[in-house]
Structure formats: structure tokens, C-alpha cells
Amino acid sequence: MLAGLTYCRISIIIPTWNEEKNIARVISGIQSSANLEIILVDGGSQDNTVNLAKALNVTVISSPPGRAVQMNIGAAVASGDILLFLHADTKLPPDFETFIRAALQQPGVVAGAFTLAIDAPQWGLRLVEWGVKWRSLLWQLPYGDQGIFLTKSMFMEIGKFPELPIMEDFELMQRLKKRGKITIVPVPVMTSARRWLKKGIFRTTLINQIVIIGYLLGIAPERIRAWYRQ
């Protein structure tokens, strides 16, 4: 927890790779503010992602591919006291800045994330949202698609994102829980349903659970990543 965050600058860091279908919508939904910057860290997109972002006047940085690597590079150049890591297919709610600053001023809080909403009507996705909600609240385990935020000083203190091919957000949460509370803002971000619809809701959820179990059992992240891509 850090006092005096009411007027602190927020740096939004968005790692991208071939996100031309989503990036303009996500960036355009963020209201411009003097206390806000958007840093897009591109991992080698071969589509129009970078040009679309530049047209919207955000900072664009090139990076080696890998979400953790990209987010760490973005954090290194960020000028804000608060960092918000945002997936390129996740849209922030109105007044997100107010929610973030209020959350980080709560006693004992070291980081936070938003509740998750998924932008498709299937009833199975409502079950996914319910599961994410209770996982986040009971075990303080929000994932990257929920918009993780924390102060830059805390991020650097815990050693940034571990540069793993997968599970970097899970590992970050484990480190943060040793320092204090991870709060969940009771307002949702809206994320794309594409990964659930591509493989099926049940199959995607099952794969996600197998990935977590495999990681906890000490299976190499590179091998787990191969499972996830199947």
C-alpha cells in the first residue's frame, strides 16, 4: 500500500502480437488523461497492429516475443508510479483509474485486478466468469486477462515478471501474496471470448486446469506451453 496515489501517473502496458482486430478498440476505449500513458510493446507483429497503435498516438516499443519479456520491457520505460498490465483483447471499464488508485490505498494491499467479464453470450462462459471470480477472491489469484495493477516500486522490488513462456502471471501473484493482499475490484474488464470459442469452453477450461497442476508439479514451462498450444 502506498499513500498519496490520488494523482499518481498510471502506465498501461499492453503486450501485442498480431492484434489488429482488437487493439484499436481497446486503446480507443481508454480516455486520455494527463496522468496516464499507454505503452504498447510489440513482439514482432506481421499484421497492422503497430500502425494502428501509432495512429492512436500511443508509445510503441519493439521487443523480442514473449508476454513476460514484453511486459518487463514496457515496465522499464514506464514513467508512471502505477503499472497496469493489460491484454490486447481486454477492454477497461469507465473510471478504471479511480478504482485502481482507491484499491492501492487500502491498508495492506500490494496489488489488484478487476473482475472478469467475457464478451459472448454462451451460458458456459457465465460459469467461467463465476469460477474466475471466486478463484480471485478466495485464493487471491487473478490472471493477466483481469488487468493486473501494482506500483512500479513493488513490481521492481519483487523482481518483475519471471520470463517464462507461460504462467508468468501466476508466479507474479505467488510473489505478491508474500508481501500483502491482492484486492479484486468489483467492476469487470471485458475480455474477448476467442480462446474459449476456438477450442470449446469445456476443453479450454480443462486445459487451463491441467496447465496449473503441471506447473505446480514442477513440469517445465516450455513443455506446459506446448500442451496449451495443442
Evaluate whether residue 157 is within a structural domain: yes
Provide the CATH number for the domain around residue 178.
3.90.550.10
Evaluate whether residue 93 is within a structural domain: yes
Number of domains in the chain: 1
For 184-226, how does the pLDDT look when each residue is reduced to its tens digit (9 = 90+)?
999 999 999 998 998 889 888 888 888 888 878 877 777 777 6
Evaluate whether residue 109 is within a structural domain: yes
Distances (CA, A) of 179 to 100, 182, 189: 18, 9, 25
Name the average pLDDT for the chain.
Answer: 91
Evaluate whether residue 227 is within a structural domain: no
Q: Which residues of the chain have pLDDT under 50?
A: 1
Question: What is the domain range of residue 178?
Answer: 10-193
Buried b or exposed e, range 74-113, using 16+ CB within 10 angstroms: bbeebebbbbbbbbbbbbbbeebbebbbebbeeeebbbbb
Task: Compute, in degrees rounded to 10, the torsion defined by CA atoms 196, 197, 199, 200.
Answer: 80
Task: Compute, in degrees rounded to 10, the torsion defined by CA atoms 111, 115, 119, 125.
Answer: 120
Amino acid in the structure at residue 138: L
Evaluate whether residue 27 is within a structural domain: yes
